[in-house]
Amino acid sequence: MTSSLRARAASGVLWSAAQMWLVRATTAGAFIVISRQLQPAEFGLVALAMSVIAVLQLLGDSGMATYLIRTPELAERHRSTAFWTSLLLATLLAGALAALAGPVSALFGEPGLAPVLRWLSLALVLTGLGSVPSALLRRDMRFKQLALRGTVATLLGSVVAIVLALLGAGVWALVAQTLVRGVVNVAITWSVVHWWPRFLLDLREARAMLAFGSKLLGIDLLLQARTRGEEFVIAGVAGATTLGFWSLASRLVRIIQETGSSVVSTVATPAFAKLQDDRPRLFRAYESAMSTAGLVMFPAMLFLAVTSTDLVPLLLGEQWAVTSRVAQVVSLGAALGVFSQFDRAVFVAVGRLRPEIVMVSAIVAVHLTLVVVLIPHGLLWVAVGLLVRIALVVPVRQVVLHRTVGLPLRSSLKAWRVFLAAVVMALLVQVSSVLLDDAAAWLRVVVAVAVAAVTYPVALWLVARPVVRAVLADLRGLRRRRRPAGPPAQAPAEDAVAVGAAPGAAVTPDVLPTVTPTPGADTRRER
């Protein structure tokens, strides 16, 4: 069972990474085409509407999807109750948004916002329809299906948006992109989940789910308050132009995060949840997740920190040169943030959310205070202040995890070894840039890429060899699993049960098996 879960988690990372990278490439291409057809005001209108939708989507789910992922035994009353409760909440929020679209648009002084909000309120209903089946796929670690779903939905949504933009649809091209992506997501999810809800609503279970989810919701809303509050303070004190510089630096880091450690985070929550009653294995999984995410995040962030003064103007234009120093500091903070990337997943797995809520509340308060105090001195001061805050919080979170959950303090040791390898790489890249100080910026970047590509693997092998060996072992295991199966007589009968497939089910190389059905559950409907 241990090797099975490890292999499925590794497979999930690979599928999530492939989907994430393809989606990012598709989105970037669509953005280039669409941005040539639309005006900045049209982009701003949809962005404002989507900010409202994002908060309401959090309220609509209310953490019930995570409840389904982490609960040890999942019965039909859990699934059906969560589905109808989520759909009801989403529908009520969509109706309220459609009814209040006029007053909201008047509040922002944007008359064109009202029809956009009314149409995008349908996205809330789509979220309610897809939340529970998506959670079931994640619980069963069927990341291949999730990856294919996201890729197809993004491709179709982008094609529709490009065609409408070329036909002069304006802002409605972006609205259509969001709705088409949501419809395709829901359709594909229901086609692969092999489960249909019953007309069953257990109010007691609904209250338990909402009680658990309210804690997650509080954390999510706090994080939203941190992000939105940070932007409001910068814009209010220093103006929209300064906010633009800050947003660009932050966006560069987020792009790397979304294509790097976030793919491991997607797998971490369901994987940790399956180990909630086996603390030693949970701690080893936490250690592995952190070091695996660091393999990508540490070198990427430190490379950006070293080369951003050349890279930012080269890729985005000289008008963004002033933000390159800010990007350097922000990327360092993101690298250190990897050490806290999976803390919440551990708290969720063991059902100890109160410490996370207290820590996040304190972090948000300190974060916003630093922004208010430092923004009059410039963005670089803000970036440095937040970097210091992150550096101080990392050990505090490790100590809290140790005292409340029992996580060994040495759990981050492998990740620190990977970080050291990335630091060695960054120093050598910096040396190469200094030696080529008089060369063109593009040449320094090309040489920096070459130096990083050569030195990082060597440094990894010298200081973080156990991590490299573990990842290579996972990849070899995945390759063996994808080999064609031998004659049926040679395959042990217990293998299907060991990996969690339903008894008698055919386990094919290209389909991830599901977890063992709960005794007494309707296996025909949930397999």
Cα separation, 99 vs 117, in Å, equals: 10
- Which of 144, 176, 201 finishes a domain? 201
- Name the CA dihedral angle for 65, 69, 75, 78, rounded to a multiple of 10 degrees: -20
* pLDDT for the residue 68: 73
Neighbouring C-beta atoms of residue 298, cutoff 10 Å: 30
Question: CB atoms < 10 A from the CB of 506, how many?
Answer: 11
| Residue 144 maps to a domain | yes
**Residue ending a domain, choose from 374, 392, 413:** 413
End-to-end, the C-alpha distance of the chain in Å comes to 19
Residues of the chain with pLDDT under 70: 1-51, 60-64, 66, 69-72, 108-109, 141, 143-147, 212-219, 224, 228, 231-232, 235-236, 238-244, 248, 255, 258-270, 316-317, 319-320, 474-527
Do residues 145 and 294 share a domain? no
78-98 in b/e form (b: 16+ CB < 10 A) is: bbbbbbbbbbebbbebbeebb
Asked if the structure places residue 474 within a domain, the reply is no
351 inside domain: yes
In a domain, 500, yes or no: no
Do residues 283 and 312 share a domain?
yes
In a shared domain, residues 298 and 381: yes
Residues 157 and 234 in one domain: no
Environment class of 401 (CB within 10 Å of its CB; exposed 0-12, middle 13-18, buried 19+): buried
Tokens of 88: 């009801």
Write the pLDDT tens digit of every residue in 313-337.
Answer: 777 667 667 888 988 999 999 999 8
Residues 62 and 213 sit within 8 Å (Cβ to Cβ)? yes
Question: What's the pLDDT tens digit per position in 338-388?
Answer: 898 888 888 877 777 788 888 888 888 899 899 999 989 988 999 999 999
Alpha helices in 375-509 (DSSP H): 379-405, 413-435, 441-463, 465-481, 494-498
Residue 472 CA, chain-centre distance (Å), reads 24
Answer whether 216's CB lies under 8 Å from 63's CB. yes
Do the domain assignments include residue 429? no
Instruction: Please indicate, yes or no, whether residues 100 and 173 belong to a single structural domain of this protein.
Output: yes
Residue 483: partners with Cβ closer than 8 Å, 6 or more residues away: 509
How much is the pTM?
0.61
Asked if 245 and 161 sit in the same domain, the reply is: no
Domain for residue 481, yes or no?
Answer: no
Whether 331 is covered by a domain: the verdict is yes
- Residue 125 vs residues 118, 178, 376, 501: alpha-carbon distances, Å: 12, 13, 43, 32
Domain total of the chain: 2
Q: Cβ of 207: how many Cβ atoms within 10 Å?
A: 12
Q: Are residues 113 and 168 part of one domain?
A: yes
d(CA 86, CA 89): 5
Chain centre distance of CA 231: 21
Residue 153 gets which letter from DSSP?
H
pLDDT attached to residue 483: 52
* 463, 420 Cβ separation under 8 angstroms: yes
* pLDDT given at position 18: 55
Residue 54 one-letter amino acid? A
Long-range contacts of 459-462 (CB under 8 A, 24+ apart): 459/420, 459/421, 459/422, 459/424, 459/425, 460/295, 460/418, 460/421, 462/421
HSE (side-chain half, CA atoms, 13 Å) at 390? 19
CA 120 – CA 295 distance, rounded (Å) = 38
Final residue of a structural domain among 182, 201, 220: 201
Residue 310 included in any domain: yes
Instruction: Specify the 3-state DSSP secondary structure of 275.
Output: coil
pLDDT for res 516: 29
Q: Which of 116, 253, 240 is nearest to 176 (CA)?
A: 116
Do 381 and 233 fall within a single domain?
Answer: yes
Rounded distance between C-alpha atoms, residue 298 and residue 425, angstroms: 10
In this structure, the answer to whether residues 236 and 126 fall within a common structural domain is: no
Task: Please check whether residues 161 and 303 belong to one and the same domain.
Answer: no
**Whole-number pLDDT of residue 501:** 30
Report d(CA 227, CA 254) in Å as an integer: 12
Which residues lie below 8 Å from residue 515, measured CB to CB, with a gap of 6+? 139, 140, 141, 274, 500
Please state, in angstroms and rounded to a whole number, the distance separating the CA atoms of residues 425 and 436.
17
Mean pLDDT of the chain: 74
Do 361 and 218 reside in the same domain of the chain? Answer: yes
For residue 503, which of 480, 486, 519 has the smallest C-alpha distance?
519
DSSP symbol at 67:
H
pLDDT, tens digit (0-9, with 9 covering 90-100), for 105-128:
787 667 777 888 899 899 889 988
Beta-carbon-side half-sphere exposure of residue 466 (alpha carbons within 13 Å): 8
Same structural domain for residues 186 and 222? no
Whole-angstrom Cα Rg for the chain: 24
Surface-to-core class of residue 167, CB atoms within 10 Å of its CB (0-12 exposed, 13-18 middle, 19+ buried)? exposed
Per the structure, the complete domain to which residue 395 belongs is given by 212-413
Residues with Cβ within 8 Å of residue 310, at least 6 apart in sequence: 433, 441, 444, 445, 448
